Structure formats: structure tokens, C-alpha cells
Amino acid sequence: MSEYKGRLTFAKGTFIEFVVAPNQDVDFGDILVVEGVNGDRFYIRTYDFKVKSRWSGLNNVGYLMSKLNEDGQVANQEELDFYLGGNHTVKIAMAEQLCYADADGRLYNPKTCPDFFCEVRSLSPDDTALLSEIKGDLEIGFLKSGRGVLELPVGIYGSKAITEHIGIFGTTGSGKSNLVKVLASSVMENGDYGMLIFDVHNEYYKDLSRHRRAAERLSVYNTTPHAGYVRRLTVNFTEVDPEDITACATFTEPQMDAIYKLSSVWQDQWMRYVLQYDVEDIIAELAGCTGQKFQSRTISKIKSICWNLKQELNIAEDGETVVGPMMQDLEQGKVVLVELKNISPVGEQALSTVLSKKLLQHYAGKPDNVRHQVKPVAIVLEEAHRFLGKKEHTSNNIFARLVSEARKFNLGLCVVDQQPRLLADKVLSQLNTLFILGLASKADRSKLEAMSRKDILQQRNEIKNLECGEMVVATNYMRFAAPVKVHKFEDFVSQYNVSAPVGFPAGNVQA
């Protein structure tokens, strides 16, 4: 499987040069192995080349030039081939040592440098120490090496990556949705993690339902169910806090004040009463309890927003709610889709806020000894800058709190965005796993370079030239950022499904 690539000719610190064997391809970005003399191995990444020849000196170049005709063209190819042939000309590759495996197969950061003339070869399944580190338990794609794709799986370890937050970044069409589907499939296959996906375009069910474990590990919620498999999303009045409302629309100061006063007077029944009573009665009640007289315009606006949300989100009086079952689903390691396509931006914001907050409270409420046994859950937020932009983050909404607190409760965010530069720096700096897909804008790439916990500067060119479905994965526990060809969802899921029938009614779903 492994191919001979060349021999080491120079090493200093972690810098390595090797001569590329004749007739071998080595590309920018190739990950290769230097076989040490003691059974140890040095993993290296090629980042540059130079060509050297015994003809390189000025006099020799002059001599070769004299073999050309007056137009600078080759007069006699055969003669020139004679001069250039043999071992007179070599291609030298420059590489950086990524990590080191000792003779027992333990992986370390670079410890020493390889010896002169050691053999350089391509990676093979035999490089188990390296491969098990990058394989993870949630498979995402294959390792890319230069122009080729190696059939070596790459993924993340959910137990390490989920609670340390994930960022998925790429321009439209770069493959973000496909990546989320592949990740969700691996979560379903694995069963040790939960995933709450706010599905803005209702684009995931159709595909994820083809997974062989969909019947047991996929749940779909929608406020207006369109098919039998979808559960109706309802929330209870008592589950909506003032901050869920203030997070989703812009309010004036008096309006904010009124909302908080209402909730302090009527506690968890505030929203129900706001909708039930007339504006005048509400003003009188507030004046009686707090001594403050609010204008009727102020109260009307609050009433109006609450009314819209009640209609849109099926906020019900009789204690009906799906929050409990949804938390159960997540805790048991399911993928939960919350379909939001038909909901207004305000409703969407309110619903995402309420559900994420419930999840945080649910996990935070578990006793310490139990919490370690519950399954880590990733909350997938698309177009995340709407919730975690520079302005939104300072308001300390639920998502900002999740960024800083979720980890200790076994939760994590997976933010998806086309323009990482719109996210607050505090958010970017907390993302310990980055999936960097193709990003057209230099400003976005520079932002990630500056904020990434892992040094990705070396891969600047690679990141710039990523094609659809290709990405660079940088995660804090991996020793280097790896280039990956993400599986195409359709191929990936059919690989799982070979031996099992499709478990869910996929046939009657509209896109």
C-alpha cells in the first residue's frame, strides 16, 4: 500500500528536506512518513520544493545555454537529454515534522529529528498510531494528501470535541450542509452522543431519514406537522421567560422594563396574563404593584409580540409541551431536528432560545455524579452570527452563555456560518474544533487564522484553494491540522445501509 517517495537529505529541528525519488509524485500538502533507524517514525508535511542540479552554477547554465539555437529553442533534444539525464538533476521537497511515533507506536509531538538518508514513504494503514488519533469515533471523511485522497478515515472524538465547541465555516456551496448531515449520520451510528439541530431550511430530514438507524435515533419536530413522523412542537406558557422574548425582537427601554416588571408581578404566568387581560387592566395592575405607570403603547407592543409568538409556536395553556420528550431524546443519544422553515425570524429566534435554554437547564440540573453519565449533546446553530455576532454576544443571550458554560454540563455548540468574521471574537476563540471549508473572502480566512487555537498559518495556501467538500480540520487534541475530503452524504449513508433496510418512511417526504 505504501509507496516509496524518496530519501532524507537534510534535517534541522523540525525542518526536513528530502530528495524525491525519480518518477514519484509529491505534492504541496502531502503527509508522508520518514522511517527512522530504530523502528520509529516521523510524520511530515511537504510545503515547498526546489530543483537542484550539478548544472545549477552560473558557468554550467551558460554551457547548457550554448546548446540552444539563437531563438533560445532546443536545437538537439537528444544531446540535451544526455546532459540532463542520469542523476544530475534532483527535486528536493521541503517538509515540516508534524509528530513522532516511537518504536512502540506511541505518538508524540516532535522529539528528535530523523537521520540522514532515511527512507521517505507515503502513509499506509500500517501507520496506526497516527491514524487512530485522526480517526475519531465520528467519521467525517478521508484524509487528503496533495492531489489524492487516501482511503484513511478522518473524524473527531465526540467526547473531546463536542463539549469544546465546533465551528463549521464555508461559503455557500462549499459543503456545510453536507458536512452537518455526515456528522449527524455518524452521531446516529455511534449512539453515544445527542445532537439538536435547528434546521432553518427543513433540509435535513429527507436525507437523514435514509440512515439505517433513523427509526430509533432520529426525531423531528415542527410547529405544523406535515407528515405522520413529525411531532407537533408545542411549548408551555410557563416555559417562556422574559429574556426569551427580549432576545428575539428589539424593544425600547420602557418596553424592556415593562416586560421584566410583568414577569416579576405574575411570575411564570406573565405571558398568559399579558394575553388574557386588556391593556388598561395590565397598566392598572402594574401601577398597583410597582407604582409605575406604563403607557398603553408600550403594553400594546408587548401584547402584540406575545400574541404572534403564541400563534406561531403553539404556546399552550394546558401544560402541553414537547420540551420533556425532546430532552429525553437528546439524553438518549438521538439526533433531534427542529424544523424552522415556516417560522418567522422572530419566532425562530424565540424558539431556538427557549429550547437551548431548556437543554442547558436540564443538563445543569443533574447532580454531579449523574451528569458524567449523560450523553454529550451538540447544539447545531446555522447562520450563527445572528445569535453570536459581536452585538448579540454582549447581550449575554443563551447562546453566549452556552459558549462559556456549556462545557461543564456536557453540552457544546456547533456553530455553522458563511462569514466567521461576523462572529464575536470571544466566540471564535472558544471553538476548539474548526472545520474550515472553502472560504471565498480573505477577511474570513484571516480571522480564522488569527483566532484558531491551532496554528493553521502553514496551511494558508491549502485553505485558500479548497474545493467543494474539502476542508481542513483543526482540533485541539490532534497534533496537526488535517486536510480532509468530506464524504458525500449519499455515498456515506449507503455504505451503512448495505446490510439493513431503511428504517423510516423516507418515501413520502417533500424536500
172 binds ligand ADP (CB under 6 A): yes
Displacement of CA 70 from its chain's centroid (Å): 59
39 lies in the binding site for ligand ADP (CB under 6 A)? no
177 binds Mg ion (CB under 5 A): yes
Q: Binding segment for ligand ADP among 16-24, 26-34, 145-153, 168-176 (CB under 6 A)?
A: 168-176
**At closest approach, how far in Å is the CB of 483 from ligand ADP?**
13
Q: What angle do CA 438, 439, 442 make, to 5 degrees?
A: 140
Residue span binding Mg ion (CB under 5 A) among the ranges 174-182, 220-228, 271-279, 455-463: 174-182
Instruction: Single out the segment in contact with Mg ion by CB under 5 A; choices: 169-177, 289-297, 320-328, 475-483.
Output: 169-177
**Which letter does DSSP use for residue 74 in this model?**
B
Distance CA 482, CA 459 (A): 9
Q: What is the 3-state secondary structure (H, E, C) of 298-344?
A: HHHHHHHHHHHHHHHHCEECCCCCCHHHHHHHHHCCCEEEEECCCCC
* Residue 122 binding Mg ion, by CB under 5 A: no
Helix 279-290 and helix 296-313: axis angle, to 10°? 110
- Rule CB under 6 A: choose which of 122, 145, 178, 298 binds ligand ADP: 178
Q: How many CA atoms lie within 13 A of 415 on its CB side?
A: 30
What are residue 100's phi and psi, to 5 degrees?
Answer: -135, 135
In whole angstroms, the minimum distance from the beta carbon of 383 to Mg ion comes to: 9
Residue selected from 136, 170, 194, 242 as contacting ligand ADP according to rule CB under 6 A: 170
In the complex with Mg ion, which residue's Cβ is closer, 393 or 487? 487
Q: Which stretches within 247-292 are classed as H helix?
A: 253-266, 270-276, 279-290
64 binds, among ligand ADP, Mg ion, none (CB under 5 to 8 A by kind): none
Cα separation of 232 and 216, whole Å? 18
Which residues on neighbouring strands pair with residue 166, listed in sequence order? 414, 433
Considering only 22, 125, 173, 325, the residue that binds ligand ADP (CB under 6 A) is 173
The residue whose Cβ lies closest to Mg ion is 177
Residue 170: which of ligand ADP, Mg ion, none does it interact with, CB under 5 to 8 A by kind?
ligand ADP
User: Could you tell me how many residues of this chain bind Mg ion (CB under 5 A)?
Assistant: 2
First to last CA, the chain: 42
SS3 readout for 430-441: CCCEEEECCCCC
**Stretch in the footprint of ligand ADP (CB under 6 A) among 4-12, 165-173, 226-234, 279-287:** 165-173
Site string for ligand ADP, 430-469 (x = CB under 6 A): --------------------------------------xx
Residues in contact with ligand ADP by CB under 6 A are: 170, 172-178, 468-469, 486, 488
